Amino acid sequence: MGLDPSRAVAELEGLRELTGDADGAQRVAWTDTWERAREWLRGKAGGTGAEEEIDEAGNQWFTLRGRSERALLLGGHIDSVPNGGWLDGSLNVVAGLEVLRRIAADGAPPLTVRLVNWADEEGARFGRSLFGSSAAAGSMADQEELRSRRDADGIALPDALREHGVDLDRALEARRQLEGAAAYLELHIEQGPVLESMDLPLGVVLGTFGVERHLVTWRGQAAHAGSTPMDKRRDALAGAAKLALEIRPIAAEVGGGGVCTSGGVVCKPGIVTSVVETAEQLLDQRHLDAGELARLLALAREASERFAREEDVEVSWERIWSIEPIPFDGGLIELADEAVREVCGTSHRLPSGPLHDAAEVARAGVPTVMLFVQSLRGLSHTKLEDTKKEHLELSVLALDRLASKALAHYS
């Protein structure tokens, strides 16, 4: 029985039917609908001969024994946000199932092959993303804080998890799952507009962006809008406004796909009859390269000091959040590029703005790569999320090619 990409697409449609409604996908983790989706997957995977295991963090594994204990991992997440899309996460679970079937039909593979359905990638119910993969990667360090988290109905996270067989205190024991992992592959919808704008079905993901988030506070002097001459003003908003525009040439100068966003400015006193005294500006900067991310930040800081002098105001910076870039494996990027070129002629390499389970696995030291398939209109986390059927089929084919190449490379 060979690979049948159209069967995978039909199964995705079946899953949508089973776990969605008129508002979209409803497979929120730690709910009955999510459990129904996991049961559905169990039923589908049964035919491959793979053994099922649910680990201490609630991740669902299907293991097809090969000639070696070393394992090739294929991973996705069947959970969705409320009123979510039909493909986010579930695409790789179902595509991976199809690849697992093909490999099982070919006889014992050189490496063990494991399909993982990560638990609670979205964090939709308790606001904590990448739950299962961060536990397996050993990077979960917020268990104390998780203990006190509650959902909108006041149900505590540990209680909700217990109903699905997970003991939060033991979640980190899922770490042993990545022992002996040779490589990790994840196919995902792009959730952005790049591939569609280039008219390409598939792309290879270089890694996930590093992020720097700051609150930039500008301080001037409130003064009467009527009586203060233009050259006597200390206008805090003027500094923020100059910076909001300056991040464009800074992003262009640094290049490499880096992006900068001034996502909001709050002005005080914020009335029409006063010069702005304080302007609190939110700045988000992202780049795939740690050095270039630092340069984006340094250039923005320098510019802000220049604008502060020009406008006779003060400026201060406070870091809100940051994460380092997580680059994927160079060798696997080459293999993925080959696989994509074989199935659709042209490949494109691009970074990922959103984080994915793959970032956690890569952080744990397992060679990792992702494939992106085009998202129509770049939409995701909505029932409008969609991808052309022929592109979905190509993506299953590309994942299969990549899995074959990785099996040959790592055995």
As measured in angstroms, the least distance from the Cβ of 354 to Zn ion is 7
Interacting span for Zn ion (CB under 5 A) from 84-92, 279-287, 313-321, 344-352: 84-92
Peptide bond between residue 325 and the one before it cis (omega within 30 degrees of 0): no
What HEC string does the chain produce? Answer: CCCCHHHHHHHHHHHHHHHEECCEECCCCCCHHHHHHHHHHHHHHHHHCCEEEECCCCCEEEEECCCCCCEEEEEECCCCCCCECCCCCHHHHHHHHHHHHHHHHCCCCCCEEEEEECCCCCCCCCCCCCHHHHHHHCCCCCHHHHHCCECCCCCEHHHHHHCCCCCHHHHHHHHHHHCCEEEEEEEEECCCCHHHHHCCCEEEEEEECEEEEEEEEEECCCCECCCCCHHHCCCHHHHHHHHHHHHHHHHHHHCCCCEEEEEEEEEECCCCCECCCEEEEEEEEEECCHHHHHHHHHHHHHHHHHHHHHHCCEEEEEEEEEECCEECCHHHHHHHHHHHHHHHCCCCEEEECCCCHHHHHHHCCCCEEEEEECCHHHCCCCCCCCCCHHHHHHHHHHHHHHHHHHHHHHC
Interacting span for Zn ion (CB under 5 A) from 45-53, 81-89, 176-184, 337-345: 81-89
Q: Does 89 bind Zn ion (CB under 5 A)?
A: yes
As measured in angstroms, the least distance from the Cβ of 73 to Zn ion is 16
As measured in angstroms, the least distance from the Cβ of 319 to Zn ion is 27
Q: Measured from the CB atom, is 88 or 235 closer to Zn ion?
A: 88
Interacting span for Zn ion (CB under 5 A) from 85-93, 173-181, 321-329, 334-342: 85-93
Q: Measured from the CB atom, is 88 or 385 closer to Zn ion?
A: 88
Interacting span for Zn ion (CB under 5 A) from 80-88, 98-106, 275-283, 319-327: 80-88
Q: Does 360 bind Zn ion (CB under 5 A)?
A: no
Q: Which residue from 79, 88, 337, 400 is in contact with Zn ion, where contact means CB under 5 A?
A: 88
Q: Measured from the CB atom, is 125 or 219 closer to Zn ion?
A: 125
Q: Measured from the CB atom, is 9 or 64 closer to Zn ion?
A: 9
Rg, the chain, Cα only: 24
Residue nearest to Zn ion (CB): 89
As measured in angstroms, the least distance from the Cβ of 77 to Zn ion is 6
Q: Measured from the CB atom, is 56 or 88 closer to Zn ion?
A: 88
Q: Does 207 bind Zn ion (CB under 5 A)?
A: no
Q: Measured from the CB atom, is 29 or 403 closer to Zn ion?
A: 29
- Could you tell me the sign of the dihedral formed by the alpha carbons of 14, 16, 21, 26, in that order? positive
As measured in angstroms, the least distance from the Cβ of 159 to Zn ion is 26
Q: Measured from the CB atom, is 27 or 233 closer to Zn ion?
A: 27
Q: Measured from the CB atom, is 20 or 89 closer to Zn ion?
A: 89
As measured in angstroms, the least distance from the Cβ of 121 to Zn ion is 6
Interacting span for Zn ion (CB under 5 A) from 64-72, 83-91, 166-174, 212-220: 83-91
Q: Measured from the CB atom, is 89 or 203 closer to Zn ion?
A: 89
Number of residues that bind Zn ion (CB under 5 A): 2
As measured in angstroms, the least distance from the Cβ of 259 to Zn ion is 20
Residues 25 to 54: which contact Zn ion by CB under 5 A? none
**Where do contacts with Zn ion occur on this chain (CB under 5 A)?**
88-89
